[in-house]
Amino acid sequence: MKITFVGTGSGKTQLQRFHSAVLIEESNSKVLVDAGDGVSKALLKEKIDIRKITHILITHFHADHFAGLPSLITQMYLSHRTAPLEIFVHENFVDFTSELLTHSYLFPDKLPFDLGINGYEFGLKYQITEMFSFVPVKNSHIKKTLQVVNYPDKLFVSSSFVFEKGNKKLLYTSDLGNNNDVKLFTEKYSTIIIEYTHIDFSSIIELFKYSNPEKLYLTHIDEEKLDELEEYISKLTQEMQGKIFVANDGYIIDSV
């Protein structure tokens, strides 16, 4: 697997970082995980050919993770894409995603490529290729509170993803709800990509020590907290510092 960090910023719009987007490449598959606001420009900046993206996976429906989707599909149309595209969202959001694209005048029967909108369920394995798959894991980042009792329960879901290729497992946490969410991940992962904004650094270290990955990458970074984060890392052992990295836009992992 090859990984490109397309957008590594937090929910706050910043000049230094685009919103959440990670491209995972395996064989002939190019899987974009999340499509935050500005993702089309972020992909262009990294010289990524959007016509060759085969799948888009959305972890949840905060704007910094999905709001760039209609614009990205528009750019695919304008670039004369012909290859099929598969979008995966939680099953509760299939109709919403379809309506979003329709209300953006992206009518499936008018696009020059086949567009599939697929609903995933937590805990099931979905094959991207024969040897490459992902499993969605429910986390608590989006939860119903007393202040929003008038909205349906089905809106309140958010996902992490575990990608598998052979004996290699890549964990992409997306946003986590709280420190307890790290206990959801009970396997050994070769690589971990963890979004930093909403949990303590101590919880990240807890997950790192349990899973003992080859590398752990921090993303979803608020530039105002970057110095604090780098100070935390500087206090780790040399061995741990050699395995824990702060990702920036354009950072590439050649082999996972």
In the chain, how many domains are there?
Answer: 1
User: What letter represents residue 194's amino acid?
Assistant: I
Question: What pLDDT does 195 receive?
Answer: 94
Share of the chain above pLDDT 70, in %: 100
DSSP letters spanning 86-152: EEEEEGGGHHHHHHHHHHTT--GGGSSS-EEEEEE-TT--EEEETTEEEEEEE-SSS---GGGTTS-
Report the CATH number that the domain containing residue 52 is assigned in CATH. Answer: 3.60.15.10
Euclidean distance between CA atoms 166 and 91, whole angstroms:
27
Residues 6+ apart with CB under 8 A from 180: 140
Euclidean distance between CA atoms 53 and 55, whole angstroms:
6
Domain of 155, in residue numbers: 2-253
What pLDDT, in 10s, does the model give residues 8-25?
Answer: 999 999 999 999 999 999
CA neighbor of 91 nearest in space, from 133, 58, 67, 113? 58
pLDDT at 145 over 90: no
Supply 246's token pair: 């702060």
Question: What pLDDT does 231 receive?
Answer: 96
Question: What pLDDT does 256 receive?
Answer: 81
3-state SS of the chain: helix, strand, coil percent to 5? 30, 30, 40
What pLDDT, in 10s, does the model give residues 82-102?
Answer: 999 999 999 999 999 999 999
Residues 6+ apart with CB under 8 A from 141: 60, 158, 174, 175, 176, 177, 181, 198
Residues 6+ apart with CB under 8 A from 56: 31, 32, 35, 69, 72, 85, 86, 87, 88
Residues 6+ apart with CB under 8 A from 200: 179
pTM of the model: 0.96
Supply 169's token pair: 């497992």
pLDDT grade, residue 154 (50/70/90)?
very high
pLDDT at 146 over 80: no
Share of the chain above pLDDT 90, in %: 95
pLDDT grade, residue 26 (50/70/90)?
very high
Residues 6+ apart with CB under 8 A from 211: 171, 185, 187, 188, 189, 192
CA neighbor of 105 nearest in space, from 124, 77, 125, 64? 77
What pLDDT, in 10s, does the model give residues 27-74?
Answer: 999 999 999 999 999 999 999 999 999 999 999 999 999 999 999 999
Average per-residue pLDDT in the chain?
A: 96
For residue 70, the tally of other CB atoms under 10 A from its CB is 19
**Residues in the chain, how many?**
256
Q: Which of 20-24, 111-115, 143-147, 251-255 has the lowest mean pLDDT?
A: 143-147
